[in-house]
Amino acid sequence: MKSSEAPMDKVFARPQFTIHYRSAARARLLSNARPDFTVLLLLEGAWRWSAGEESGEMRGRGALLIAPGESVNINVERGAWITLTLAPALVLDAAIRSRLTRDNALITFRSRAVEGDERLARLAGDLAEEMIEEADGQEVVVAAIVEQIVVYLLRRHAHIRRSGELELSRAGLVDRRIRRAVELMHTHLDRDLPLEEIAAAAYLSPFHFARLFKKLTGAPPHAYLAALRARRAQTLLTESDFSITEIAARVGYGSSSHFSKAFRQATGLSPRAFRAAVTRR
């Protein structure tokens, strides 16, 4: 897998996970605090990264592990990598089925950067090969590799502890203190949601709700909402033939230009480029 001058993008999107394979001469990745787990798998090239007070460099093969609510900035110098985004409900379900926990748990990663893990590197290579080739049976093989990656990360690189503050709802695994507010966001992605309305769902003033929400999730309420909208938009771009304008309306944006800007900030691609990069449906 040699990266070329012209960037190459391949996307495989499902409701609970998204895979974005990219090769490019240079790139800057901004992973803002979001509700999902993000696994960045470096296949070749070099990264310089920073996350809060942590920073480092990575060459060859390695991974950066980002739990929900965490942020990382990355500068890529001629590389190929995979961004694997995982819904918390998928990760928790894998932990329960693997008997690593029996009920709701707080799952974080033991360390940010992973280097020298040959098994993880092999799984990343297998996933990249499937993304590039787009052979028959891709969906089955990709889903199997993703599950292997999730279980392996849970076994080797995750810290799992029970939490009485978390509960699994239709909105996924959330802190019970803000569950009603998060469910409101999921239910009404198609319309404008003022902070006052979101806070009222949690029976808090806007000021106290915003502080609590950021403390619990790592992101301000409307940044979290934008991430939910981007996730839903990815599913619509992958599974439907709706126009960009219609998708923008379905995820709460009054104009396609505003939607495109927000989507690019969340995924690194415009909605049209994302749809063009989607592998077999």
Is it the case that residue 35 has pLDDT exceeding 70? yes
Per domain, the residue ranges of the chain are 8-162, 176-277
Q: Looking at the domain covering 176-277, what would its CATH class be?
A: mainly alpha
Asked whether the predicted pLDDT for residue 1 surpasses 50, the reply is no
Helix axes 206-217, 221-239, angle to 10 degrees: 60
> What is the tens place of the pLDDT at every residue in 241-281?
999 999 999 999 989 999 999 999 888 899 999 999 997 65
pLDDT, tens digit (0-9, with 9 covering 90-100), for 79-123? 899 999 998 889 988 999 999 987 778 888 998 999 999 999 999
Confidence of residue 72 (pLDDT cuts 50, 70, 90): confident
8 Å CB contact between 278 and 271: no
Q: Which two tokens stand for residue 254?
A: 């009054």
Q: Which CATH number fits domain 8-162: 3.40.630.10, 2.60.120.10, 2.160.10.10, 2.20.25.90?
A: 2.60.120.10
